[in-house]
Amino acid sequence: MTKFTEKATAITPNREIQPDEYFNETDHLIYCSKCNTPRQCRHELQGKVLIPSIRCKCQQEIFEQEEAQRKLHEKQMEIEHLKTSGLQDKALYDYTFARDNGINPEIKLAHNYVSNWEEMKSNASGLLIWGDVGTGKSFFAGCIANALLEKGIPVLMTNFSRILNTLTGMHFEDRNQFINSLNRYSLL
Ligand SMILES: [Zn+2]
């Protein structure tokens, strides 16, 4: 400590001070004039004093905001990608809980399936939806697919005839590859 005090009188900033900074005479570090927190820190390594630059509080806040923006954007891109791959029919994009008209109270089962997804997945529980044509089975399934895709979960919404059509005319190895490709979806 004595050594430090002796040296302290001669200490000057180790880099040029920017217009929005000042040199703090107490700890001999460069500070931000806006938030009054240091833009440098002091380390001692093998007898040498290192004064690397760090982010002051306001720079850190901006950095975190930008990071959050970047992550959000990445997540949105990922969800877009999952949707493109999982919703092979553009009309399915509109099958969402937000568009539910509330006519069929059974929609709560679809809601439950989504809210308990982790449990459903670990128990390998599917959902069997049956009913007459036009009763909204596809809508229910679409709502589940969209809600899970929004959470970043890989879902494929397809139908039996589409799968059969894809398989027809495929070589044996391609068929295996196609069937295996279905495994990368958490929900089919
Ligand atoms: Zn600052």
160 and 110 inside one domain: yes
C-alpha–C-alpha distance, residues 49 and 36, integer Å? 23
172 and 127 inside one domain: yes
38 Cα: distance to centroid of ligand 1 (angstroms): 8
Look at residue 80 and tell me if it is in a domain.
no
29 Cα: distance to centroid of ligand 1 (angstroms): 13
Look at residue 72 and tell me if it is in a domain.
no
Residue 119 φ/ψ, nearest 5 degrees: -70, -45
92 and 177 inside one domain: yes
Look at residue 35 and tell me if it is in a domain.
yes
Q: Measured in Å, how far apart are the chain's first and last C-alpha atoms?
A: 67
37 Cα: distance to centroid of ligand 1 (angstroms): 6
56 Cα: distance to centroid of ligand 1 (angstroms): 5
44 and 108 inside one domain: no
Look up tokens 């044996």; give the residue: 172
Tens digit of each residue's pLDDT, the chain (188 residues): 445 554 444 578 889 999 999 999 999 999 999 999 999 999 998 999 999 999 999 999 999 999 999 999 999 999 999 999 999 888 999 999 999 988 888 899 999 999 999 999 999 999 898 888 888 889 999 999 999 999 999 999 998 888 899 898 888 889 999 989 999 999 99
Look at residue 115 and tell me if it is in a domain.
yes
How many domains is the chain partitioned into structurally? 2
182 Cα: distance to centroid of ligand 1 (angstroms): 51
43 and 133 inside one domain: no
113 and 165 inside one domain: yes
26 and 107 inside one domain: no
168 Cα: distance to centroid of ligand 1 (angstroms): 64
36 Cα: distance to centroid of ligand 1 (angstroms): 6
46 and 98 inside one domain: no
Look at residue 66 and tell me if it is in a domain.
no
58 Cα: distance to centroid of ligand 1 (angstroms): 4
69 Cα: distance to centroid of ligand 1 (angstroms): 20
46 and 90 inside one domain: no
CA distances in angstroms from 188 to 4, 52, 53, 141, listed in the order given: 67, 52, 51, 10
Look at residue 139 and tell me if it is in a domain.
yes
Look at residue 29 and tell me if it is in a domain.
yes
Look at residue 57 and tell me if it is in a domain.
no
65 Cα: distance to centroid of ligand 1 (angstroms): 14
Give the structural domain span for 33.
2-50
22 Cα: distance to centroid of ligand 1 (angstroms): 11
